[in-house]
Amino acid sequence: GGGVLVWALAWASGSKPCLAEELSQDAATLLRSARQEEAKGNVDKAFKLYSKIIELEPSYPYAFSNRGNLDVLRGDLRLALQDYDQAVELLSAESSARLNGEAWLVYLNRGTTRLALGDDPKQALVDLNLAAAIRRSPDTLLLTSRAQAYERLGDWASAAADYQAALSLKPNDVEPWWLRFSLVLFQLGRDVDAVALARRVRSKFSGEAEVGIALACMLVDARQLTEATKLWFDQPSIQRQRYSDVAFLETAVRWPPRAVSVAKGLGRLFESL
C-alpha cells in the first residue's frame, strides 16, 4: 500500500439528470451524447458537450453540476466549485418542486468540494445538511462526508453519529473510512470500540501503513506494547517517519488530536524499548 489509506472524499456522479424534458431538442441530444461519453470515461469530450449545453440552455442547473463533476475528474476543484455554485443558484431560484431527483447530489458534491479545498467546514456542513434534507433517506457518501465536516469543526460526537449511521447501512462491508470512524471513537475515549473497529479494518487492509500505525497508537495507550511494537516495526521506515510528523498527521491525513499526540512520540518510545 501507499501508506495513506485513501478512503473518502468521494464525489457522487449520479444517474440520469431529471428535468431533461425541459430542454430543447438540440440540448437534449447533446445531453444524451455527454452522458454516453461520461460512461466511456471520455472526460474531455463530455466536458465540451456540457459546455455546449450551457450555451444553449444557461438556466439548466444539471449541465453546470455535471460539468462540475468533470472539473473534479480533471483535477480543477476551484472550477468545479464555480460550476456547483452556478447549479445551486439556478436550483435556488426555482420552486421547491425542483428540489428532487439529483438536486441533493449537487449540494453533496459542492460540500465535498469545499472540504477537499480546505474551505470553511461550516459552509460545507450547510451544503451537506441541505443534501440530507432533500434526499430524506440515509446515504453512505453523504453521511461520511458530513462526518468529515464535523471532524473539521471538532464536533467528534456528531462525526461519530454520522459514521455509525453509515456503518449500520452495511455493517459487514468493511470500508477504508471505517479507520476514520475508529480514530474519532479514540478521540472520544471509546477505546475498546475504537480498537475493535481498527482491527476489522486491518484484517481487510493489512498492507496499509496508516491502519497499522493507527492501531499501534491505540494499543500503546492501552499499554499493549508487545503488539503495538510489532505493528510499528512491520511498517517501512519511510512510513514510520511520515506518521511521526505532526504536520503530515494534521494536514495530510487529518488525524484527530489525541491520535496525533500519541503518534508523534511513537518513534522515540519504540526505539527506547
Is 90 exceeded by the pLDDT of residue 95? no
Residues 117 and 30 in one domain: yes
Q: How far apart (Å, rounded) are the C-alpha atoms in residues 20 and 34? A: 13
Spatial neighbors of 166 by CB under 8 A, at least 6 apart, are 138, 140, 143, 144, 147, 177
For residue 263, the tally of other CB atoms under 10 A from its CB is 22
For residue 212, give the C-alpha cell. 497499522
pLDDT of residue 270: 81
**Any domain includes 88:** yes
Residue type, 20: A
pLDDT of 100 strictly over 80: no
Is 12 inside a domain boundary? no
Same domain? 99 vs 202: no
| 47 and 115 together in one domain | yes
For 101-116, what is each residue's pLDDT tens digit? Answer: 678 999 999 999 999 9
Is pLDDT of 117 > 80?
A: yes
Q: Structural domain tally of the chain?
A: 2
- Sorted by sequence, the CB contacts under 8 Å of residue 50 that are 6+ apart come out as 34, 63, 64, 66, 67, 70
What is the reported pLDDT for 271?
74
pLDDT band of residue 93 (cuts 50, 70, 90) is confident
Q: What confidence score (pLDDT) does residue 272 get?
A: 75
130, 186: one domain: no
Residues 122 and 24 grouped into a single domain:
yes
182 and 240 part of one domain = yes
The CATH number for 76's domain is: 1.25.40.10
Of 201, 155, 157, residue with least CA distance to 175: 201
Question: Could you read off the pLDDT of 61-73 as tens digits, one per residue?
Answer: 999 999 999 999 9
Q: Considering the domain boundaries, does residue 66 fall inside one?
A: yes
Confidence of residue 15 (pLDDT cuts 50, 70, 90): very low
Residue 131 shares a structural domain with residue 202: no
Predicted local confidence at residue 22, as pLDDT: 73
Q: Is residue 164 part of a domain?
A: no
Local confidence band at 176 (pLDDT 50, 70, 90 cut-offs): very high
The pLDDT of residue 249 is 96
Residue where a domain terminates, one of 87, 111, 137: 137
Mean pLDDT throughout 227-255?
A: 94
What is the predicted pLDDT for the residue at 8?
44
Residue 160 lies in a domain: no
| Single residue among 80, 104, 137 that ends a domain in this structure | 137
187 and 121 fall within a common domain? no
The residue behind cell 428532487 is 100
Q: Tell me if 152 is assigned to some domain.
A: no
Residue 208: domain span: 178-272
Per the domain annotation, does 6 fall within a domain? no
> In this structure, are 122 and 226 located in the same domain?
no
Which of 110, 137, 164 is a domain's end point? Answer: 137
Q: Are 96 and 29 in a shared domain?
A: yes
pLDDT above 70 for 174: yes
pLDDT band for position 12 (cuts 50, 70, 90): low
What is the percent of the chain where pLDDT is above 70? 89
Flag whether 187 is in a domain.
Answer: yes
